[in-house]
């Protein structure tokens, strides 16, 4: 009985030792697996970091070559590999703001262009190429603002008959660089204004010649000079027949060119009464009430 008990105890001890060795082996195996997994992850991270660094440098080279659209694509690839990379994220944002500013400027939107440029952060100062391009773009935005002002000034001058002033403004507009699409468009519109100025000046010359000829004709066909009362009466009846309402600064020059036939020049002075621009030359028959106006292009009188 004692021998059997001793054998049993030996078996139990042997079993316990076997189990202990087995558990120890499992623990070592588990630790080895964890270490291996951690090593793979670390290797993958290092690989991604290297790829991101290469992509970042590639994007910088592309920016230096003016390939900003391509740089944007490259930086987006780098961001997908490492979304937390501060340098990549900042340069990507700056390139996006630059491209948005450039697009806005080409559409003539200087406010949006300058707003996007102002969003470019400190990373810009670390990339000389992008800094230089942003400065150039800001200069172009300022030039476009100037172009808008010059064109509007020229347009207003033409509208008010100040043709020499308009020409000077248009000359300044044409001196600006036409590399910006919106500036080129304004310069093209300026050419149309120049054509209008030339046409108006030619018309004015025609009007003056017609007026001179009419005055010479009136001298030979005149039935006599008009008294002040006759002059006032003719002007009043002419205004009524022509549908012209007297305004401040408006003047009427009346010449008799035949029996009941008159030529009337209508002029309008500016706010300081220093310039009396010709608004029309008319023929008026006081007996029939008929009114015709000189067409300064054709040189003929047409029914009013």
Average pLDDT over residues 201-208: 58
pLDDT value of position 65: 93
Query: Which of the listed ranges 1-15, 98-112, 289-303 does the model predict with the highest average pLDDT?
Result: 98-112
Q: Which two structure tokens, joined as six digits, stand for 291?
A: 């009114």
pLDDT value of position 62: 94
Q: How far apart are the first and last CA of the chain?
A: 148
Q: Is residue 135 located within the same domain as residue 269?
A: no
Q: Does pLDDT of 256 surpass 70?
A: yes
pLDDT value of position 218: 39
Q: Is residue 79 located within the same domain as residue 201?
A: yes
CA angle, corner 209, sides to 205 and 212, nearest 5? 140
Q: Which helix (H) or strand (E) holds 137?
A: helix 128-159
**CB neighbours of residue 73 within 10 Å:** 12
What are the beta bridge partners of residue 262? 256, 284
How many angstroms from the chain centroid is the CA of residue 108?
A: 1
Domain-embedded: residue 22: no
> Considering the entire predicted model, what is its pTM?
0.51
pLDDT value of position 213: 52
Domain-embedded: residue 193: yes
Query: Which of the listed ranges 63-67, 148-152, 242-246, 299-303 does the model predict with the highest average pLDDT?
Result: 63-67
Give the domain extent around 264: 222-303
Q: Is residue 279 located within the same domain as residue 299?
A: yes
Q: Is residue 171 located within the same domain as residue 274?
A: no
The number of domains in the chain is 2
Domain-embedded: residue 26: no
Domain-embedded: residue 3: no
Of 211 and 241, the structure prediction assigns the larger pLDDT to 241
Residue 30 banded pLDDT, cuts 50, 70, 90: low
Domain-embedded: residue 37: no
Q: Is residue 212 located within the same domain as residue 231?
A: no
pLDDT value of position 13: 56
pLDDT value of position 215: 45
Q: Is residue 90 located within the same domain as residue 192?
A: yes
Q: Is residue 92 located within the same domain as residue 156?
A: yes
Residue 37 banded pLDDT, cuts 50, 70, 90: low
pLDDT value of position 2: 57
Q: Is residue 105 located within the same domain as residue 249?
A: no
Residue that terminates a domain, selected from 161, 191, 220: 220
Q: Does pLDDT of 85 surpass 90?
A: yes
Domain-embedded: residue 239: yes
Q: Does pLDDT of 7 surpass 80?
A: no
| DSSP-derived pairing of the beta strands 261-269 and 291-294 | unpaired
What is the strand order of the sheet 301-303 is part of? 250-258, 261-269, 276-285, 291-294, 301-303
Average pLDDT, the chain: 79
Residue that terminates a domain, selected from 174, 204, 220: 220
Q: Is residue 298 located within the same domain as residue 264?
A: yes
Among the ranges given (40-54, 65-79, 143-157, 220-234), the one the predictor scored with the smallest mean pLDDT: 220-234
Q: Is residue 205 located within the same domain as residue 256?
A: no
Domain-embedded: residue 187: yes
Domain-embedded: residue 263: yes
pLDDT value of position 156: 82
Average pLDDT over residues 52-70: 94
Average pLDDT over residues 29-34: 55
Average pLDDT over residues 15-43: 57
Q: Is residue 178 located within the same domain as residue 256?
A: no
Q: Does pLDDT of 9 surpass 70?
A: no
Q: Does pLDDT of 255 surpass 70?
A: yes
Q: Confirm if 108 and 182 have CB atoms less than 8 A apart.
A: yes
Residue that terminates a domain, selected from 175, 203, 220: 220
Region of residue 260 (left: phi > 0; alpha: psi -120 to 50; beta: else) = left
Q: Is residue 150 located within the same domain as residue 172?
A: yes
């Amino acid at each position: 009985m004692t021998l059997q008990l001793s054998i049993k105890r030996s078996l139990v001890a042997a079993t316990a030792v076997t189990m202990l060795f087995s558990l120890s082996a499992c623990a070592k195996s588990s630790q080895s697996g964890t270490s291996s997994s951690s090593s793979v992850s670390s290797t993958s991270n290092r690989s991604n970091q290297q790829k991101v660094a290469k992509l970042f440098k590639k994007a910088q080279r592309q920016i230096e070559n003016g390939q900003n659209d391509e740089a944007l694509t490259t930086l987006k690839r780098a961001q997908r590999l490492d979304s937390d990379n501060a340098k990549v994220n900042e340069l990507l944002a700056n390139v996006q703001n630059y491209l948005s500013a450039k697009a806005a400027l080409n559409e003539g939107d200087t406010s949006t262009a300058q707003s996007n440029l102002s969003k470019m952060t400190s990373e810009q100062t670390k990339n000389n190429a992008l800094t230089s391009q942003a400065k150039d773009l800001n200069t172009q935005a300022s030039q476009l603002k100037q172009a808008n002002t010059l064109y509007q000034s020229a347009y207003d001058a033409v509208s008010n008959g100040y043709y020499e002033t308009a020409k000077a403004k248009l000359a300044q507009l044409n001196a600006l660089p036409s590399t910006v699409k919106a500036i080129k468009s304004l310069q093209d519109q300026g050419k149309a204004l120049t054509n209008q100025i030339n046409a108006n000046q030619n018309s004015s010359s025609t009007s003056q010649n017609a007026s001179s000829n009419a005055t010479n004709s009136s001298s030979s066909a005149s039935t006599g000079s008009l008294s002040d009362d006759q002059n006032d009466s003719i002007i009043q009846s002419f205004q009524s027949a022509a549908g012209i309402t007297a305004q401040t600064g408006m003047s009427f020059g009346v010449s008799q060119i035949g029996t009941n036939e008159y030529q009337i020049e209508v002029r309008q002075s500016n706010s300081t009464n220093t310039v009396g621009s010709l608004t029309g030359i008319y023929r008026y028959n006081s007996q029939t009430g008929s009114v015709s106006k000189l067409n300064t292009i054709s040189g003929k009188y047409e029914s009013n």
